Amino acid sequence: MIKIVTIVGARPQFIKAAAVSRQFSKHKEIQEVIVHTGQHFDKNMSDVFFEEMQIPHPNYNLNIHGLSHGAMTGQMLEGIEKILLKEKPYFVLVYGDTNSTIAGALAAKKLHIKVIHVEAGLRSFNMDMPEEINRILTDRISDILFCPTDAAVQNLKNEGMDKMNVRIIKNGDVMQDAALFYAQEAEKKSTIIKKLGLNEFVLCTIHRAENTDNIDNLKSIIEGLNRINQEVNVVVPLHPRTKNILDKEEIAIQFTVIEPVGYFDMIMLLKHCKLVITDSGGLQKEAFFFRKNCVTLRNETEWVELVENGYNTLAGNNADKIYQTYQIMMERNNDFSKNLYGNGKACEVIVSTLLKM
């Protein structure tokens, strides 16, 4: 029996865990214990994902949220360590690049438990991003590095990881596994398109601190979206924190703002939109999965293959560039048949690798 403690805490990790946990459940040799740190705690960003995606409810919920990076990571480290001492797993599995990720990896490594990092090797090369720090440190102390792309594998080799006592495996992207699996469920269960009366629209999300906490950047992004909205309806699921900043700064919004949505609703918004505009790493890929061009509100991306193949263009946070890039990408016809992310087999590679160890 292989006991694995999986650490999750944020929306993208729930989606990834849904795909991997479903594959684990097919093998009686694997026992999974799920720990939810509580990093994303409101109903729309946590509980709803476990419910609608039929992920086994966490065995533990640390309920740690709303703190500074240091306090949050420290409390997670302490809480996870206690669970690991009790459960005594063979592996700890972490996803992505959040505070939950680095806390889980550190707790395991200090207890000499092997660390699996899913979505390893990604780099923005922007050390101002907390996520970049988390992913680099997590990769460095992991024992098995599952990489979604060739670029991710190469990043690790460039850092000398292939000379260390670790396994580097390109398995594809587990987010594509989830997207393909849940697309049919979303068609049955989501009513958001009908409820909002949407026809032709652009889907946008904004959440990164460099965009939401920098008022000049935020004003410029909103100006760009307002200009686009004069030509096509822009729909933005907006976190209450960002909405409060907009209200406080009296930044005028001319587009459609909706509450944060669950995964099935997001899938339907992706399937029906004309274009995606986002600063989210995950949504850049999900746009590709659902055959939509993407404008990214950042100056760099970890998903370089999307830019290199013309599916994604970086617009930063300048209003004029956002509007100009929107015009270009609305007209661009792309071939979405390329296999960039494993075509839905990423989780199978993870499980088969672990079973052979």
pLDDT tens-place string over residues 186-196: 999 999 999 99
27 is catalytic: no
The percentage of residues in the chain with a pLDDT greater than 70, rounded to a whole number, is 97
Look at residue 97 and tell me whether its pLDDT is greater than 90.
yes
Ramachandran area for residue 335 (φ above 0: left; ψ -120 to 50: alpha; else beta): beta
- Min mean pLDDT across 38-52, 77-91, 108-122, 232-246 is at 38-52
The terminus-to-terminus CA distance of the chain in angstroms comes to: 12
Q: What is the dihedral of CA 259, 263, 269, 270, to 10 degrees?
A: 140
* Residue-range domains of the chain with CATH: 2-173+342-355 (3.40.50.2000), 182-331 (3.40.50.2000)
What is the C-alpha separation between 337 and 335, in angstroms, rounded? 6
Q: How far is C-alpha 115 from the geometric centre of its chain's CA atoms?
A: 20
Answering whether pTM is above 0.95, one says no
Predicted pLDDT at 41 = 60
Please name which of 59, 52, 63 lies closest in space to residue 9, comparing C-alpha atoms: 63
pLDDT tens-place string over residues 229-270: 999 999 999 988 899 999 999 999 999 999 999 889 999 999
The tokens for 120 are 């390893």
Look at residue 135 and tell me whether its pLDDT is greater than 90.
yes
40, 117, 207, 239: the active-site residue? 207
Please name which of 53, 38, 50, 57 lies closest in space to residue 100, comparing C-alpha atoms: 38
What is the C-alpha separation between 241 and 42, in angstroms, rounded? 12
